[in-house]
Amino acid sequence: MVNQNWLGIPLIVGQTIVKEEWIIYNTELTEFDYYVMGVDPAFSTKTNSDAFGIVITGYKKIKGDTYKKAVFCKKLEWAKKDTQIAINIIKSLYHKYQVKVINVEGNNGGDIFGNLLKKERLAVEIVRATRDKVSRLKEREGDLMRGLIYFAPETEELVNELLEFTGADGWEDNLTDAFIYSLHNQKKEFFIS
């Protein structure tokens, strides 16, 4: 069945974007050519600021197709959103997975945080969103529908957020944003085998 978005039919307010049948958990694809980390820093002075989202996606080129698998996700809330704690966690993950690049959302303090990560000698790109988050996620629906994006069972929190995401204001989307940034290929040379 073709999704209505591919037919150019607009979403209905409150409609989810990612369909359950597109979610494929995969335990077999375990070796990757490289990893990309997406970070939604969400630092804010507001009383009810968002959680900080981290997603790591592995990339594997097989017979001309690039398969992507979300292998790790984590939300930092409350005290763990402390800048130094977040840097230490990201630095540890960066080295553990041998991440090629960290894509950091460049708003809500992302510029400052990305520059702090660069001072730690980590490969960081500060990514500017040129479209709203619904459009950015919809750009990935073709890969999801064709089975080019997989999920590790450990990323169930990300999957649940994706399945509930409608783009409505106030909806939790920290891991969704981080996931989208982990799929962002600003550095084209990392994506050619």
- The Cα 158–Cα 188 span in angstroms is 25
Dihedral pair phi/psi, residue 161, rounded to 5°:
-65, -40
Burial of 185 (C-beta count, 10 Å sphere; 0-12/13-18/19+):
middle
Structure tokens at 88: 């230490």
Please tell me whether the overall predicted TM-score, pTM, comes out greater than 0.85 for this model.
no
8: left (phi over 0), alpha (psi -120 to 50) or beta: left
What value does the mean pLDDT of the chain take?
82
**pLDDT score recorded for residue 17:** 78
Domains of the chain with CATH codes: 25-184 (3.30.420.10)
Which pLDDT tens digit goes with each residue over 134-178?
778 888 888 888 889 999 999 999 999 998 887 666 567 889 899
Contact between 71 and 154 (Cβ < 8 Å): yes
